């Protein structure tokens, strides 16, 4: 029988593996292995047909020892409380790995935004915000976009929050449109950050981008930018995919052309000069870099032995299960974990929050230079930690992050 996937148990397993390796104090383990608080809400909205539909929404606060809680909001039919708890915990480590002063949170609503009108999505977002009004805030918990939420959703949240507080508080969410306090470079930040990690990984392995191939699963905000940035670096993108399937051309794809095709047709599937391929087969292609950039639980014990990539750069949160990781590590695959590889988004979210709080906005080149510096430093910190503890990069990144969070907890006592 197929094992049911529980992302929170997976997040706890990853945490406990690192905690054991670093001999973490038992009291700190007990504090950090559970979220501090979780809110579950029912969100009734009037649909376009006139019927009232009630959606389930969550927001989880994992830990705020290092600063206000921070984390995205996901709109997806498969959202569960366990998933949101895992994502919140990963945010705590992610902020600590890159050294930005936030804790970890996450939100989610069980819904299918692809089947909702703009008005219904707006009503859902505003009602979710009203139910979360005491749970979020610029010095408390700052949401951002995640799967199937975007800058428009953030604009509605900010507007609704401001109606309730009576102030214009830009810093209550990040990933906003530029016109209302968004930051230059936020949209592309996760993809750019992932590309910095791939660039440093190639240096680490003494590989040249022009002799490197990459496969990318997921062609949303993160996936398509990562494909474009890697392509600009000289890497050959041989396959990409979205929820409808994948496309493959061993001679290379032009990601900009693929993106404009997807904009027109709604999918990468059908792109000319490429072979159609399933998402499962795409993961098993012979490639140097594999970047899962869609959802969690895609590299599992069932397909790990068939994966031929040398490097896995985790764009998505939680794409590799611990069982799969064991198999891949035995095959000497280098896995750059989500909490490091996709941290570019929260780094520029931090920049956006700083700019909002100061009311002073920076130029794009300044954002890019600062992002590059932080991601590069984090990469080599993790490599040093892996060498020091003779361990894999995920455990090393966890040890680095847990040390920072544990230190913050101890200093507050």
Phi and psi based region of residue 234 (left: phi greater than 0; alpha: psi -120 to 50; beta: remaining): left
145 binds ligand NDP (CB under 6 A): yes
337 binds ligand NDP (CB under 6 A): no
Choose between 57 and 315: whose C-beta lies nearer to ligand NDP: 315
Question: x-or-dash pattern for ligand NDP, window 236-275, by CB under 6 A?
Answer: -----xxxx----------------------x--------
Please report how close the Cβ of residue 336 comes to ligand NDP at its closest, in angstroms.
Answer: 13
- Chosen residue from 83, 127, 141, 146 binding ligand NDP by CB under 6 A: 146
313 binds ligand NDP (CB under 6 A): no
293 binds ligand NDP (CB under 6 A): yes
Distance of CA 225 to the CA centre of its chain: 13
Enumerate the H helices of 39-177 as residue ranges.
81-97, 118-131, 151-165
Site for ligand NDP in 54-93 (CB under 6 A): none
Residue 104: helix, strand or coil by DSSP? strand
Given the residues 70, 106, 262, 310, the one annotated as active site: 106
Separation CA 94–CA 86 (nearest Å): 12
User: What is the side-by-side strand order in the sheet with 275-277?
Assistant: 275-277, 245-248, 236-242, 213-217, 289-292, 311-313, 334-336
- Chosen residue from 279, 284, 303, 376 binding ligand NDP by CB under 6 A: 279
35 binds ligand NDP (CB under 6 A): no
- Chosen residue from 217, 355, 391, 395 binding ligand NDP by CB under 6 A: 217
Question: Which range in 2-10, 309-317, 370-378, 387-395 contacts ligand NDP by CB under 6 A?
Answer: 309-317
Tokens found for residue 25: 């104090």
Distances in whole angstroms, Cα of residue 101 to Cα of each of 13, 204, 402? 25, 28, 14
317 binds ligand NDP (CB under 6 A): yes
Separation CA 237–CA 232 (nearest Å): 10
Question: Which range in 25-33, 52-60, 77-85, 289-297 contacts ligand NDP by CB under 6 A?
Answer: 289-297
Choose between 63 and 217: whose C-beta lies nearer to ligand NDP: 217
Question: Which range in 78-86, 122-130, 312-320, 372-380 contacts ligand NDP by CB under 6 A?
Answer: 312-320
54 and 42 Cβ atoms separated by less than 8 Å: yes
Which among 129, 39, 79, 97 is positioned nearest to 314, based on CA atoms?
97
Number of residues that bind ligand NDP (CB under 6 A): 26
Closest-approach residue to ligand NDP (CB): 220
Choose between 24 and 147: whose C-beta lies nearer to ligand NDP: 147
The reply to whether 192 belongs to the active site is: no
143 binds ligand NDP (CB under 6 A): no
DSSP 147-209: TT--HHHHHHHHHHHHHHHSS--GGG-SS--GGGT--TTTTTHHHHHHHHHHHHHHHHTT--G
- Chosen residue from 108, 223, 255, 337 binding ligand NDP by CB under 6 A: 223
**Maximum CA extent, the chain:** 61
Which among 237, 294, 247 is positioned nearest to 269, based on CA atoms?
247
Choose between 38 and 295: whose C-beta lies nearer to ligand NDP: 295
Separation CA 203–CA 239 (nearest Å): 23
Separation CA 220–CA 226 (nearest Å): 10
Please report how close the Cβ of residue 307 comes to ligand NDP at its closest, in angstroms.
Answer: 16
Choose between 63 and 241: whose C-beta lies nearer to ligand NDP: 241
Separation CA 387–CA 372 (nearest Å): 23
Choose between 258 and 316: whose C-beta lies nearer to ligand NDP: 316
Distance of CA 104 to the CA centre of its chain: 12
Site residues, ligand NDP (CB under 6 A): 145-148, 190, 217-223, 241-244, 267, 279, 293-295, 315-317, 342, 345
Catalytic annotation, residues? 106
């Amino acid at each position: 029988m197929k094992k049911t996937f529980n992302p929170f148990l997976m997040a706890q397993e990853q945490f406990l593996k690192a905690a054991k390796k670093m001999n973490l104090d038992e009291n700190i383990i007990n504090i950090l292995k559970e979220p501090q608080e979780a809110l579950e809400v029912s969100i009734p909205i009037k649909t376009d047909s006139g019927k009232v539909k009630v959606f389930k929404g969550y927001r989880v606060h994992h830990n705020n020892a290092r600063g206000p809680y921070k984390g995205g909001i996901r709109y997806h039919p498969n959202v569960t409380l366990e998933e949101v708890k895992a994502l919140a915990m990963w945010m705590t480590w992610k902020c600590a790995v890159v050294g930005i002063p936030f804790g970890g949170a996450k939100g989610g609503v069980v819904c299918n935004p692809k089947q909702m009108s703009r008005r219904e999505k707006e009503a859902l977002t505003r009602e979710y915000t009203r139910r979360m009004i005491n749970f979020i805030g610029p010095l408390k918990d700052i949401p951002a976009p995640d799967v199937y939420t975007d800058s428009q959703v953030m604009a509605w949240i900010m507007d609704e929050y401001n109606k309730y507080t009576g102030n214009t508080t830009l810093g209550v969410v990040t990933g906003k449109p530029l016109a209302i306090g968004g930051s230059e470079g936020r949209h592309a930040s996760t993809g750019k950050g992932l590309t910095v990690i791939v660039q440093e990984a190639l240096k680490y392995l003494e590989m040249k981008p022009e002799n490197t191939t990459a496969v990318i699963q997921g062609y949303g905000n993160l996936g398509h930018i990562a494909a474009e940035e890697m392509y600009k670096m000289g890497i050959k993108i041989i396959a990409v995919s979205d929820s409808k399937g994948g496309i493959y051309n061993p001679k290379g794809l032009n990601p900009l052309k693929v993106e404009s095709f997807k904009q027109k047709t709604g999918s990468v599937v059908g792109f000319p000069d490429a072979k159609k391929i399933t998402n499962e087969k795409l993961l098993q292609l012979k490639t140097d870099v594999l970047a899962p950039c869609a959802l969690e639980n895609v590299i599992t014990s069932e397909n790990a032995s068939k994966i031929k990539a040398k490097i896995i750069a985790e764009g998505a949160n939680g794409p590799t299960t611990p069982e799969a990781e064991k198999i891949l590590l035995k095959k000497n695959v280098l896995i750059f974990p989500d909490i490091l590889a996709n941290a570019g988004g929260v780094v520029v979210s931090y920049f956006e929050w700083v700019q909002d709080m100061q009311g002073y906005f920076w130029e794009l080149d300044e954002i890019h230079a600062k992002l590059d510096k932080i991601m590069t430093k984090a990469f080599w910190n993790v490599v040093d930690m892996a060498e020091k503890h003779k361990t894999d990069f995920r455990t090393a990144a966890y040890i680095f992050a847990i040390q920072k969070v544990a230190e913050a907890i101890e200093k507050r006592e």
